[in-house]
Chain A
């Protein structure tokens, strides 16, 4: 993994960082690279409310905010920004305004690498809209000033259309922190996290492959 000047992670939901990139984030932090995580929403529309439910529609954002802060803490993210958009509405925002706002954060943090979702290949409309706004903001920069952009893609058609991921990070050395980050988002991952730990214990190859390898597509401008 290349040593970066600063890594800027831009995702729309608390827990988006946990599954696909928390290992990569940990490796960068271990490398001494500062990491900024800009999270657009507080996941207000999450459907997991505990069973029996311990959250309501009105308390969920507060709970998820605390979970996000805890995940940032276990990963060692020094700069966590919550941008105050609302879950499931990102795609309806004015794209130019959103891109400008992200552009300000890019200007301020001056990252050598941005991690976000691959627009069109990230399933959730908020994911696609966030990725599109990031790409738009980076395109505004002169070509020689643009940071690298590594995108997360997981739609069913992604490999067919954009090929194989060109960046694969082995995060097995920091998998404990990755599991801790996933567990920090307890309202959303309670059940899943328990199964996952069990699978890791049993060394189930499919789960290990998913947990230990984080895959990215370098966006080509």
Chain B
């Protein structure tokens, strides 16, 4: 993955707009967070292969970035995006790595279902 470059990511978001796409969205603080710090409130969310069409999307912020996708009937967004990659299957992989390099959030958009 490369550090996210706003213009590149925006171009990819535009390329995948108005198409039926599969979304992977997750956020996590790790399964051990409350084990190491009992005062820590552990939370996370995960959705893989939600099929949708967004008609408009944007990457905003000064980095880490926020990415929002607007649909006819709703929204998808992720905060904390630091890295991006368009992989060999032309999927847009966005990830947010925390200060120690650990994955904290991922938003991925693909025209074919993720494995």
Contact = CB atoms under 8 A, between A and B. Distances in A.
Contacts of A48: 101-103
A130 to B, nearest CB: 13
B35 A47 contact: no
Interface residues of A, number: 19
B93 A58 contact: yes
B101 A56 contact: no
Q: How large is the interface on B (under 10, 10 to 19, 20 to 34, 35 or more residues)?
A: 20 to 34
B93 A57 contact: yes
Contacts of A53: 1, 83, 95, 97, 101, 103
B104 to A, nearest CB: 8
B31 A51 contact: no
Interface in B53-81: none
A176 B84 CA distance: 38
A125 interface: yes
Contact of B24 (A49, A57, A123, A124): A57
A206 B46 CA distance: 37
A80 interface: no
A58 B38 CA distance: 31
A57 B108 contact: yes
B40 interface: no
A88 B27 CA distance: 13
A65 B35 CA distance: 26
Contacts of B97: 49, 51, 53
B102 A49 contact: yes
A58 B109 CA distance: 12
Contacts of B83: 53
B93 A47 contact: no
Interface in B1-55: 1, 24, 26, 28, 30-32, 35, 38, 46
A45 B104 CA distance: 11
A42 B46 CA distance: 17
Interface of B: 1, 24, 26, 28, 30-32, 35, 38, 46, 83, 85, 87, 91, 93, 95, 97, 100-104, 106, 108, 114-115
